[in-house]
Amino acid sequence: MSRIGNNPVAIPEGVTVEVKDNTVTVKGKLGELTQEIEGVSVKVEEGNVHVARPSDAKDHRAKHGLYRSLINNMINGVSTGWTKELELVGVGYRASNQGQKLDLAIGFSHNIVLDIAPEVKVETVTEKGKNPIVKLTSHDKQLVGQVAAKIRGFRKPEPYKGKGIKFVGEQIRRKAGKSA
């Protein structure tokens, strides 16, 4: 019994959900998202989306909660959007952007210039005395997470000094250095 899958997803105002064949389409003020569905049935009734599974087979149970969560993320995305913030920790680490091009100076011999997908809005915040922050915003949660993970992958935080690119609020497990 999936407790997550049995919960209905409320549809806020300004958002429309359409189910055609095996595709769920969600439209809102921030954009439009589609998702292929298999193994479960999706119904839209009285301002709620209900996900039901045909049997208690392992595959159906696994997909029940998954597709309910994906539909919930799509509805939240097109109504409020998703944001990820990355913090550059290190001496001389800088970030700037011109439109959809993100320019990172993170201790390599050259700057990394990254073209960001047009669905993701990029913003860099640099304040004196604080670490630079890169803000990624979009209606697609999966895309924001993928872009953030790619940026973080250039210089993951190391455990001794904590230098690198980390998510804002992320706790880095620190290690003691060598003992003399």
* Domain at 82-167: CATH architecture: Alpha-Beta Complex (3.90)
Q: What is the pLDDT of residue 3?
A: 82
Of the pLDDT bands very low, low, confident and very high (cuts 50, 70, 90), residue 1 is low
| In the chain, domain spans | 3-79, 82-167
pLDDT per residue as tens digits for the range 60-85: 988 999 999 999 999 999 999 999 99
What is the token pair recorded at 14? Answer: 């300004």
Q: What is the pLDDT of residue 34?
A: 95
Query: Per-residue pLDDT for 179 more than 90?
Result: no
3-79 shares its CATH topology with 82-167: yes
List, edge to edge, every strand of the sheet that includes 16-20. Answer: 16-20, 23-28, 31-36
- How far apart (Å, rounded) are the C-alpha atoms in residues 32 and 41? 21
pLDDT per residue as tens digits for the range 17-59: 999 988 999 999 999 999 999 989 999 998 899 999 999 899 9
| CATH of segment(s) 3-79 | 3.90.930.12
